[in-house]
Amino acid sequence: NLLFLLCLSPPAPIMLSSRTLASSCRHLLSTGALTRSFTSWSPSYDEETKGKGVGIHAMQIVFPKTYVSQSDLELADGVGEGKYRKGLGQENMAFTSDREDMPSLSMTAVQRLFDRDGVDPARCGRLEVGTETLIDKSKSTKSYLMPLFGNNSAILGIDTINACYGGTSALFNAAQWCESSLYEEGQYAIVVAGDIAVYEPGPARPTGGAGAVAMLVGPNAPLQLEGNRLGVHMEHQYDFYKPSLGSEYPAVDGALSIECYFRALDLCYERWINKGGDAQNQFDYACFHSPFGKLVEKSFARLLYRDFLRNPEAVGSQVKEALAEFAGLDAVASYSDRGLQNAVNKLAAGDFAQKVLPGAFCSKNLGNLYTGSVYGNLLSLIEQKGRELENNRVMMFSYGSGVAATMFSFVVPEGRGEEIQSIADHADINSRFSERSRKTADEMVSALSLREQAYGAKSFVPKGSVDELFPKTWYLANVDDKHRREYAFKE
């Protein structure tokens, strides 16, 4: 493919500025020197399907090669055994040094769509990035990706920012574009959702993570967005925010953040249910924004409590009897009531294992991807179930602090199961997870220290080892005296 052809002398990396990369891309596109690993993707529709069935045709996820085990963090932090694994519901956490940033992760994710899914960059009409991992107060992350598209500069879209919600807003923007008069036949949109989640030393650090998800969006998709069924909630809060422009680290009010998450969940669920009719079991699978696994478990169980409050007669006698004593709880009190939580967790355990755990692999093993979290979970579900998702509905809950939240859903129409299986096969998650490199807690601290030193710096070459990157990865090679960043591609 295009970028493989750029790297003609391995193992030495190609170091390219945006101008050099753009020139090389234009030359290769003009000569037709493009090869694909898979059959080229092409939108399929006619006048009856034009602008309809909009959704996801392909997905790719990228993440750092390096990770730390939560069990190692427990030992290093001197906390009780199981504090992070059982208490947070996490197994491993991805991290990276100063060699990767949001532009490089995004470039690698989009590159995988080109290489693995046969996506033609000349057909992209919209590109939007949802992220809160900012390196510039003005220049968008999307702009760093433009050289990958060669001569195709007629691409709408820009960055979308609001904590962990930006990826969902970008997806909705792309879907609405596909349904609008702005859409031209034969085009597609690409949405990138991802972040590098890092916290200063302390109890929040084990809830970090890193990665990005790229999604190919267009009409007549195998994974179709139910755009007429959204449960939306927005409000103003200071639960998690980043007021210091000189640091990657956020300001977090942990208790308020949980309260805001649950309140948004309650309201979004009620509104989503109402738009689909008041019936139980309206979804086959569910993917949640996942700051940590235990919160997802509690959130799914809470939906059962909300079902009980809405219609006690519809949930069955066992649930009705078990939850009767909690019927009069104040909403805020219910967020932290241990008796209620234990009761609903027990009642919902079977459905949680069936409907949520199949999509929890990425979050449990990468950590929090912020904007990419819920979409990493969606891709985990697709990888686990593949063609079995045909005729199924997947409920999605996207949450971003501040607060912005939406519950929505995808459906896989009859006859589209093999295309869903193809998404899983092309993403190839498991083989890359098996190739990751486990690091010690001290090595993680050293890598994050490099990020601290590099944040906002100029006139420097990153110190992180390129050997600790996966092959076919874009990475930061240099920052000049005017803060201009140059990237290289590891063959």
DSSP SS3 for 124:
strand
Q: Hey, what domains does the chain have and what are their CATH numbers? A: 2-224+430-490 (3.40.47.10), 231-414 (3.40.47.10)
| Residues labelled as active-site residues | 132, 164, 289
Q: Is 65 marked as a binding-site residue?
A: no
Q: Which residues contact 344 (CB under 8 A, 6 or more apart)?
A: 301, 302, 304, 305, 323
The pLDDT tens digits of the residues spanning 288-323 come to 999 999 999 999 999 999 999 999 999 999 999 999
Regions in the chain scoring below 70 on pLDDT = 1-50, 277-281
The confidence score (pLDDT) of residue 16 equals: 54
Q: Which residue has the tokens 């690091």?
A: 439
pLDDT at 5: 30
Residue 245 is predicted with a pLDDT of 87
> Tens digits of per-residue pLDDT, 375-388?
999 999 999 999 99
**Strand-strand pairing, 66-69 and 92-94:** antiparallel
Query: Does the annotation list 294 as a binding residue?
Result: yes
Q: Are 226 and 282 in contact (CB under 8 A)?
A: no
Percent of the chain exceeding pLDDT 90 equals 87
pLDDT of residue 37: 38
Q: Give the tens place of pLDDT for each residue, 98-146.
A: 999 999 999 999 999 999 999 999 999 999 999 999 999 999 999 999 9
Q: How far apart are CA 171 and CA 403, in angstroms?
A: 18
Distance CA(182)–CA(414), nearest Å, equals 29
Q: Where are the alpha helices (DSSP H) in 367-428?
A: 373-385, 417-427
Helix or strand or coil: residue 209?
strand
Q: Which residues contact 413 (CB under 8 A, 6 or more apart)?
A: 53, 222, 224, 390, 391
pLDDT at residue number 222:
99
- Tell me the two tokens of residue 44: 């399929």
State how far the Cα of 392 lies from the Cα of 121, in Å rounded to an integer: 31
